[in-house]
Amino acid sequence: MIQELSDIIADAKMTGETGGLLVTITAIMFLGTFFGNMVSWNLGVNNAVAYSAEQGEMPAIFAKRNAKGVPSGAAYVNAIVASIIVIIAPFIPNQDIFWAFFSLNLFAFLVSYLPMFVAFLKLREIDPDTERPYKVPGGKGFLKVMAYAPLIQILMCVIFTCVPLDFSPEALVETLPITVGAILIIIIDEVYIRVKGITNEKADLSLIHASAEEDAE
């Protein structure tokens, strides 16, 4: 791993060598940031997934937490899926499929941030007086620029990742699996939420009927 990072550093023209003390130290520090960032990032993502599961928007296994409140269910599922992909990756005849899975992960990651900027503007409009640890200064126009600028950038990244901009056979073979996968992700998510909503609605009705029967007795 360190040697691979050293080659990357050399290719990036950071140094003129593929070895040496400076390159090795830089590679180790680079690897350390990967581990440190992934731990904190995974905890944040797992918490979001666990919260969604607690609201009934994802399978119940994701809502499991340990005694300290850490979302263990999401962590285990994440670890199992990632391990399976890493294990089968060398045996996939077409390596483009692996990178298609990687791009789908990037798509899901980017799309999850889109509602945040809209929610920021909405909350500042309907709930402006709530005391916050940090409040972005500025008027409505400035806040819209602050929210819409990254929103547009993320949309552009999603388009460049999932939408085939070149209709040559080579480009379509590379991009279409990502496009189809992204569409399937959205469809499966919406279907699950709607089915789960119907289930919750039926459960609420059953509770109402049970309560009414108790009152009648």
Q: Is 51 in the same domain as 134?
A: no
CB 39 within 8 A of CB 52: no
What's the pLDDT at 40? 77
Sign of CA dihedral 100, 38, 112, 83: positive
Q: Is 77 in the same domain as 98?
A: no
Mean pLDDT of the chain: 76
Domain termination site, one of 52, 72, 91? 91
Going by C-alpha positions, the residue among 34, 46, 30, 181 that lies closest to residue 107 is 181
Q: Is 84 in the same domain as 22?
A: yes
Domain with 69 in it: 1-91
Q: Is 80 in the same domain as 104?
A: no
Tokens of 45: 């993502």
pLDDT tens, residue by residue, 142-189: 888 989 998 998 888 888 878 877 777 777 777 777 888 888 888 887
Going by C-alpha positions, the residue among 111, 45, 55, 56 that lies closest to residue 81 is 45
Q: Is 103 in the same domain as 74?
A: no
What's the pLDDT at 18? 57
Q: Is 79 in the same domain as 45?
A: yes
Alpha-carbon gap, residue 109 to 48, rounded angstroms: 12
What's the pLDDT at 110? 81
Domain count, the chain: 2
What's the pLDDT at 198? 53
What's the pLDDT at 208? 43
Query: pLDDT class for 113, splitting at 50, 70, 90?
Result: confident
Which of 7 and 133 is assigned the larger pLDDT?
133
In 15-38, which positions are buried (b, 16+ CB within 10 angstroms) versus exposed (e)?
eeeeeeeebeebbeeeeeeeeeee
Q: Is 125 in the same domain as 54?
A: no
Domain termination site, one of 58, 91, 124? 91
Q: Is 86 in the same domain as 121?
A: no
Q: Is 123 in the same domain as 71?
A: no
Q: Is 15 in the same domain as 59?
A: yes
Alpha-carbon gap, residue 49 to 102, rounded angstroms: 19
Residue 119 in 3-state DSSP?
Answer: helix
Q: Mean pLDDT over residues 75-94, rounded? A: 82
What's the pLDDT at 2? 46
Q: Is 57 in the same domain as 110?
A: no
Domain termination site, one of 91, 123, 143? 91
Q: Is 130 in the same domain as 86?
A: no
Q: What is the DSSP string of 14-74?
A: S-S-S-SHHHHHHHHHHHHHHHHHHHHHHHHHHHHHHHHHHTTSS-GGGG---TTS--HHH
Q: Rg of the chain over CA atoms, in angstroms? A: 23
Which of 173 and 199 is assigned the larger pLDDT?
173
